[in-house]
Amino acid sequence: MSDDQPSSPSSDSLCPGCQGEGSLLLPCGHTLCQACLQLCQEELGQDGPGCTECYGRELLDSVLKGLLDSLFEGQLRQVGSSVESGETAEDGDLCRQHREKLTQYCMEDEELICDQCQGEEHEDHECSSIEEATQECKVRNRCIILQQAQKTVRLIKENFEKLHQFLHDEEISMLRALSEEEEQKSQKMKEKMDKLTDAIMTLREAISSTEEAMTPVILDPNTADVCVTLSDDLTTIRYTEEEQQVPDNPERFCFYDCVLGSEGFSSGRHSWDVEVGDCSEWALGVVKESVQRKEWLPPSPEHSMWTICLCGGEYRARTPTSAPLTLKKKPQKIRVQLDWEAGRVMFSDAGDNSLLYKYKQKFTEKVFPYFSNTCKRHPLVAS
């Protein structure tokens, strides 16, 4: 075993620091347990004395030396084999007042005194021999060092525990904030997706409803004015100046140059398109089944006719005021929409679905699609 290493612990020896069993025998001859030895090394450093008694002795010697130096400052003392200022080295161990050997230590004044000083001005003070004072100082210093070391270890542990707790709390807080942010973003994304899905479904329903409401219109030749002709498939109406030789049946119109659809409506929603193209004079809409057919009356809701027209280069709603309609562009195809229960007749440009005009009317009887063409060059086509 190296001389610098402590011997194995002895079960019979007690540590002078913590009074625990199993202390080690140090190279200096003193004993100390492994825990106290480690605290001393941490407090004093690996290069410092590992023994508290040795450290206390060195500290006490340093204190006593400083105390003696201050007591005998300016006195003649012998150093080595020479004499300094006529005072021998033994004078440093003598009382300056009584020239007697310093044998006592005054606890109250914290100074070295002789027996005569102890019997005079230090009579009421607590005094002890220098050996006892030295031993007490060692024990006190050892306890202070151990207490400081233990306090330091406790503070370090407490600070690290606080740091660990802080980091743990921060981790939880950041993870919670991240989770909440992710949940909020997911919720917003879900809401947007739900709105988009609803919009798509609404659009699909509208398209489906429109497709279902689209009504193939077949023209009724029995209602055609004598100045119009119909195509063989009964979808196209043309104007002619030559009157047709047709029976004068009750359903036929006179003076309006028009024709009705073959099917009337007394419920539901219906829609049909009419290709107007370059036709320069036309009228479209719906009329009541009981509309006057054999004499001419101004076309208007008052006379059971809800129509719009192009006449003289202007688009108009056929109302008593007959105000011109403002259109962004010339429509090529007009869409007529009928909602019988709601009492609405709407006209729109089938190209961009822009609204041209809307009638509001409560219907009480069947109505029929209405078509009129007085353009000599171009036809109207119902679809």
DSSP assignments along 134-168, one per residue = HHHHHHHHHHHHHHHHHHHHHHHHHHHHHHHHHHH
Task: Tell me the percentage of the chain whose pLDDT exceeds 70.
Answer: 81
Three-class secondary structure assignment of 69-122 = HHHCCCCCCEECCEEECCECHHHHHECCCCCCECCEEECCCCEEECHHHHHCCC
- Mutual angle of helices 52-71 and 130-213, in 10-degree steps: 120
Is 153 part of a structural domain of the chain? no
Rg of the chain in Å (alpha carbons): 61
For tokens 């089944």, the residue is 289
Over the chain, what is the mean pLDDT?
83
Spatial CA neighbour of 105 closest among 82, 78, 80, 134: 134
Mean pLDDT of 168-180: 91
Which structural domain, as residue segments, surrounds residue 53?
A: 23-64
pLDDT of res. 94: 86
pLDDT of res. 138: 81
Mean pLDDT of 26-47: 73
Structure tokens belonging to residue 335: 């869409």
The strand pairing partners of 82, in sequence order, are 79
Domain's final residue, options 14, 37, 64: 64
Is 364 part of a structural domain of the chain? yes
Spatial CA neighbour of 337 closest among 273, 265, 258: 273
pLDDT of res. 80: 40
Structure tokens belonging to residue 312: 């003289």
The runs of H, that is alpha helices, within the chain are 34-44, 52-71, 115-119, 130-213
- Say which residue, 126 or 339, is predicted with more confidence: 339
pLDDT in tens, 216-271: 899 999 999 999 999 999 999 999 988 889 999 999 999 889 999 999 999 999 99
Is 142 part of a structural domain of the chain? no
The answer to whether residues 39 and 149 touch, using CB atoms and an 8 Å cutoff, is: yes
Is 39 part of a structural domain of the chain? yes
CATH code for position 324: 2.60.120.920
pLDDT in tens, 336-383: 999 999 999 999 999 999 999 999 999 999 999 999 999 999 999 998
C-alpha dist (Å) from residue 72 to 58, 118, 185 = 21, 19, 84
pLDDT in tens, 70-121: 555 555 444 343 334 444 445 567 888 888 888 888 888 888 888 888 888 8
Is 149 part of a structural domain of the chain? no
Alpha carbons 268 and 210: distance in angstroms, whole number: 12
Alpha carbons 287 and 350: distance in angstroms, whole number: 21
Is 44 part of a structural domain of the chain? yes
Domain's final residue, options 46, 64, 82: 64
Phi first, then psi: give them for residue 94, nearest 5 degrees: -110, 150
Structure tokens belonging to residue 303: 């006379």
| Single pTM value for the model | 0.48
Domain's final residue, options 10, 31, 64: 64
pLDDT of res. 61: 65
Question: 127 in helix, strand or coil?
Answer: strand
Question: 380 in helix, strand or coil?
Answer: strand
163's CB contacts (< 8 A; 6+ apart) are none
Q: In the chain, how many domains are there?
A: 2
Is 172 part of a structural domain of the chain? no
pLDDT of res. 82: 37
| Distance, CA of 62 to chain centre | 66
Is 183 part of a structural domain of the chain? no
pLDDT of res. 213: 61
Mean pLDDT of 33-47: 71
